[in-house]
Structure 1
Amino acid sequence: MSKDVTVVLAHGAWADGSSWSKVIERLRAKGIRAVAAPLPLTSLPDDVAALERTLDHVGGPVVLAGHAYAGGVIGSVTAGHVRALVYVAALAPDEGESVGEVFGRTAPHPDAPALTPDEQGFVWLPDEAFPKAFAQLATPQEQAVLRAVQRPIALAAITTPVGRPLWKDVPTWYLVAEQDRMIPAENQHFMADRMGATVRVHDVDHTPLVTAPDVVADLLTEVVEQTRKGL
C-alpha cells in the first residue's frame, strides 16, 4: 500500500481503461502512480462497486478522476481515502439526479449522435460518431482504435439516481472541454459552478485524455501536488 498519492482513473461510456494510457505515461514520467479502474458499464451500482474494488486495492491517499459518464461513478463512491476529485468533461449529477438527466439538461450539439439502446438494453456509439462528435480532434488511427475497443453502456447505468455526491465533501476540480460535442461546454460550466469546483477551461474535444493528454496530466499533477501538501 502506497503512502504517497495515487491517481485512480475511471473511464466513461464507450471506452475502457486504455483510454487513459497517454495520461498514465505522462504521470509516470513525473513519478506519479496512476491506476485505471475497469468499469463494466452494466449499471451504476456495478460500476461503483468495481471502482471501489480498485480503490481498496490501491489503498493510501487517492486523487480520483472520472471522464464523461464516470463523473456519476466517482461521485458515488464512499471510500474515505479519496482526497480529491477531478472531473474531465464529466457528468456530475446532484443527489436524486441520474447521469442521463444531467446529460440532457441542455440542447445537444448538431453533430451529437442519436443514442438508442439495443434489445438487451445497451447503448452503442455509432461508428460515424467517433470522428464527428466523440473525438473529432483525434487522428484517424486514434478514432479507429476508440471504435474498435468501445464498450457499450447499459441504459440502467444512466437512469439510476445518485445519492449524496462525494463532491460535496472533498475538494473538486473540473476540466471544461470547450469543443465537446457530446456534453456541451455550457452544461459543463453549469455542473462545475454548481459543485464549486476549481475550473480549468481548455479548447479541447470530448476526449482530451486521448487528444490533449498533456492538458489532463498537468491538471492531475496540480491536484496531486495540492493533495500532498495536505497529508
Structure 2
Amino acid sequence: MSSDPTVVLAHGAWADGSSWSKVIDQLEQTGVRVLAASLPLTTLAGDTEALDRALEHVGGPVVLVGHAYAGGVLGGVTAPNVKALVYVAALAPDEGETVGDVFGRGTPHPQAPALAPDSHGLIWLPDEAFAAAFAPNATAEEQVRLRALQRPISGACITVPVNRPRWRGVPSWYLVTEQDRMIPAENQRFMAERMGAEIRVHDVDHTPSVTAPGVVSDLLREVVAKVKANQA
C-alpha cells in the first residue's frame, strides 16, 4: 500500500460526488489518488458512518475534504488515517452546536434561498437557487446539471449537536469563498479562525469545485505535499 496520501472528497447538501469531477481530473492528472465519498444525507450519524467506511476502505493516509454541510460530517469521523482536513466553504460546528446553528449564524446574503422541509422532512434547494446562490458562476448547462442531480438533505442532519470535532486535533485548512451567497464569507472566516485553520481566501462562489476547480486543486496539492513531508 502506498504511503502517499489519498484525497477523500465529501460533497455537501444538494450535491453528489460528481460535483468534484473537475477537481478529480486535475488531481489525478498530477498523480494524486482521489476518492469521492457518497453521503446518504439522511442523518448526521449515518453520513459520518458512511464517510468513516470510505476512509477505512482507503486504508492509507488521507487528506479529507468537505464542502458546505460536509464540514459537519468531517468533524465527527473517527478513522485514524486522517492526516489533514480541508474545508471548502464548509460548516464547522464546535462541540454542542448543530450544523444548522453555524449555517444560520449572521445575516444571510440577499439572494440566499428560503429553505424549509417538505412533508417527508427533506429540504430541497429551489430550482432558481442553483443560478442565484449555489453556483452563480457556473455555466447555464452546469447549473441545469446541478439542479437535475441534486439530492435533498434531511432536517435530521442539521439539528443534532456534535461532539468534540476532529479539527481540534488534526491540522486543518479552510478555503474562504468571497462571493458565497449560501454561507457568507464573514461566517466562513469566523469558523476558520475559531478552528485555527490555515486560511486561503479566493474571489469565487459557493461551489468552486465546479466554477473554479483550479483553486481547489492547488490547495489540495499543497496540503498533500505537506502531509507527505511530515511523514518523511
Alignment-mate amino acid for residue 154 of structure 1? S
1:129 matched to 2:129: yes
Q: Contact 1:63–1:82 (CA<8 Å) still a contact in 2?
A: yes
Shift of 1:4: 1.4
Secondary structure of the residue aligned to 1:174 is: strand
List, as ranges, runs of 4+ consecutive aligned residues in structure 1 with deviation greater than 4 Å: none
2:227 counterpart of 1:230: no
What is the rounded CA distance, in whole Å, between the counterparts of 1:217 and 1:140 in structure 2?
23
Give the C-alpha shift of residue 156 in structure 1.
0.3
Give me the TM-score of the superposition, normalised by structure 2.
0.99
The aligned length equals: 231
2:13 counterpart residue number: 13
State the 1:3 CA deviation.
2.2
Residue in 2 that maps onto 1:162: 162
Q: 1: distance between equivalents of 2:3 and 2:57?
A: 13
2:140: which partner in 1? 140
Q: What residue in structure 1 maps to residue 61 of structure 2?
A: 61
1:3 paired residue number: 3
2-structure distance, mates of 1:123, 1:67: 17
8 Å CA contact 1:2, 1:58 repeated in 2: no
The question of whether the paired residues in 2 share the 8 Å contact of 1:91 and 1:99 is answered with yes
Residue 143 of structure 1 aligns with an amino acid whose one-letter code is Q
Q: How does 1:1-231 map to 2 (within 5 A)?
A: 1-231=1-231
Q: Which runs of 5+ in 1 are unaligned?
A: none
* Identity rate, percent: 70
CA RMSD of superposed structures (Å): 0.5
Unaligned regions of 5+ residues in structure 2, if any?
Answer: none
Partner SS for 2:136: coil
Q: CA deviation digits over 1:24-62, x for unaligned, max 9?
A: 000001100010000000010000000011000011000
Indicate if the aligned counterparts of 1:10 and 1:39 stay in contact, CA closer than 8 A.
yes
Q: C-alpha distance in 2, partners of 1:3/1:211?
A: 31
- TM-score of the two chains, using structure 1 as the length reference: 0.99
Structure 1 residue 96: Cα displacement: 0.6
Distance 1:212 1:160 in 2: 32
